[in-house]
Each structure stands twice: as structure tokens, then as C-alpha cells.
Amino acid sequence: MKAFVVERYGKKEALRAADVPEPELREDEVLIDVHATALNLLDAKVRNGEFKLILPYRTPFVLGHDVAGVVARVGARVRQFQVGDEVYARPEDMRIGTFAERVAVKATAVALKPKNISMEEAASIPLVGLTAWQALVEKARLQPGQKVFIQAGSGGVGTLAIQLAKHLGATVATTTSAGNAALVKRLGADVVIDYRNDRFEDRLSGYDVVLHSQDGETLKKSLGVLKPGGRLISISGPPDPAFAGESRAPWVVRQVMHALSWGARRQARRLQVGYAFLFMKASGSQLQQITSLIESGAIRPVIDQVFPFESTNEAMAYLESGRAKGKVVIQVRKPLSGAPHED
């Protein structure tokens, strides 16, 4: 089958188009004919080698963390899916590989695709949708009437997180450029801050939750906008001791994680707020709950551009340019007859 492979780690390394063996199907997995996949900054970071200590993929390997497609085969122990089902998923770590014509995914990471969206739209959801869900619902336990600051509102995670936070009844503040202000307002943002001309730390205070996705300097400023008892959930690091304890990383690596987050945790304690790092986990059951929100109209996919499969490297370059509003998607197979399409 055709796939795009990381031949060697490095920022300037293009993915190699290759013919690779079809993935081996385990008893608890489903084999998916990939109709569409999507790009995430995580893909670039994995290719660059930034996660080698905690995700030690051996090169060459197929990249890709989002998939929408049709079940081609099911493992011997799989009961919840059958051949022909339209599904979507974020494969588990160490079993990624959605930049390919087929991918094997653990059944517990898979959900039925929302009926009211296309394969391309469905492929845009899993990683960012699960990240937003695990940050706001699982870790922050966001409640109606609370205030949440979601950074980079026009990005992949931001566009989903704003919609989820509004569905949960929160007041939402976000940062974006002036050109994207109308987009994030349509998604539900109540307070929109132009990061190029305004400082969010001067505008925001007394917030219950911050969803942090930026650099260390922004993290320090973000802790200051929380009220006592508030929580900052970071998806960009640094890793905290809880994550270090859950990871299978060597002891030395876990100690490094402790050290990296020491300054952030000390500042959080001084301000009487909480700090937590989130590294998203695959979950078909949570994805099924997101499906319900999509089918009810509470959440809609936001796609910037769809690239053909053969242009995967061009799509990666566009993602890394930082210009995308929402998700960058790759169409691997032509749309199914009668399937919904984007407007």
C-alpha cells in the first residue's frame, strides 16, 4: 500500500512516499480503509524528533494521528464493529500511521463516524476533539457559568475547544489575529484578544480555567489570569510529575520531566492555582460522545484546506507555516457516493 514515511528524524526531512506492507491486524483491532486523514502539529514534532524520549518510534515508520474511513476487516475479538462501518479514530501511541491507504487501530479507540459530516470533516476531529474533551471535561471539569481562557482560538484545538466550552455553558476568552476574530466569534468566543496588538494578561483576570498551548513565557503570564483555586491545563508542556508517573519513560527521563515543570508548579503554588499537563489519550468512547455533539449541531468541524494524498509534504509545510484556520486535511480516497460534503 502507499504511505508517507518518516525515514529519519529532523526538521528539514520531507516524508518519503513509499510502498509499505499492509499493517498486521491484531485480534483487538480493526483494519480501516483510509478515506481521509488530518495533520496536527504533533505530526511535525514527532517527525522532528521532539518526542523521541517518550514516543521512541523506530525509523522508518508511517506518520499520522487522525483517520476517517471504512472498516475493511475486524480482529477475532472485535464485536462492536463490522466490515463496511464508517468510522473515525485517533490511533493509540506506538500504533499511529494514518498517512497511508490502510491503518490498523485498536477497536477501543474507534467510533462510528458522525452521519451528518463528510469523511474529510470527520478526519479533522479525533485528535483535537479528544484533546479539548480531556482538557475541559476530564481535567478541568468545566462548569456552567465558569470563565475559560482558550489560547490560539483559530487553531485546530482552539476551534473545537471554544465550541465545547460554550456547549458546557462557560464564558470563553481567546487570542487570535484580527483577521480571525470573526471566525472565533462565530464559534462562540465572548472575549476576543488580538495577540498582535493587545496583551491578554492586561485584559483577563479571575478566570477558572486556562487551556494553554503556547510557549513558556505565555504560561507564566497565563497563571496570573486565574483566580485562586483555578486550573491551567497545558497541552504544550512542560510535563508534570503526574504525567511522568504514568509514562513508561526511563527513570532518568521522568526526573527530567519533574525538573522541567518545577518552575511552573512553584509559581502555581504561590498563586494558589493548579497546573496540569495533558498528553491526549486515544478513546473511542469519548469520541462517541463527541459524535453526539456533532450530530446535534453543538460542534462543527473547521477545515482550512484539503490536500490530495500525493501532496502530503506540501500539506505539512502549510501546517507549519502557521496560517491555517482550523484543520489541514488530506483526502486519501475520493468521497463516497452520496456522502455529505463541505459547503
Instruction: Please report the pLDDT score of residue 335 as a whole number.
Output: 77
Residue 327 and residue 156 in contact, taking contact as beta carbons nearer than 8 Å = yes
The whole-angstrom separation of Cα 85 and Cα 62 is 24
pLDDT per residue rounded down to tens, the chain (343 residues): 999 999 999 998 999 999 999 999 999 999 999 999 999 999 999 999 998 888 999 999 999 999 999 999 999 999 999 999 999 999 999 999 999 999 999 999 999 999 999 999 999 999 999 999 999 999 999 999 999 999 999 999 999 999 999 999 999 999 999 999 999 999 999 999 999 999 999 999 999 999 999 999 999 999 999 999 999 999 998 998 888 888 777 888 888 888 989 999 999 999 999 999 999 999 999 999 999 999 999 999 999 999 999 999 999 999 999 999 999 999 999 875 544 444 3
Global pTM value: 0.95
Concatenated DSSP letters for 266-329?
HHHHHHT-EEEE------HHHHHHHHHHHHHTS----EEEEEEGGGHHHHHHHHHHT--SSEEE
Instruction: Please report the pLDDT score of residue 83 as a whole number.
Output: 98
Instruction: Please report the pLDDT score of residue 244 as a whole number.
Output: 81
Q: Which domains does the chain have, with CATH numbers?
A: 2-125+301-331 (3.90.180.10), 128-277 (3.40.50.720)
Give SS3 for 211: strand
C-alpha cell at 266: 512553584
Residue 279 and residue 239 in contact, taking contact as beta carbons nearer than 8 Å = yes
Pairing of strands 29-39, 86-89: unpaired
Concatenated DSSP letters for 6-54?
E-S--TTPPPEEEE-PPPPPPTTEEEEEEEEEEE-HHHHHHHHTTTTTT
Instruction: Please report the pLDDT score of residue 338 as a whole number.
Output: 46
- Peptide linkage before 144 cis (omega within 30 of 0): no
- Phi, psi at residue 25, to the nearest 5°? -90, 120
207-212 sheet: strands from edge to edge: 191-194, 171-176, 147-150, 207-212, 226-234, 274-277
Instruction: Please report the pLDDT score of residue 337 as a whole number.
Output: 53
The whole-angstrom separation of Cα 299 and Cα 39 is 19
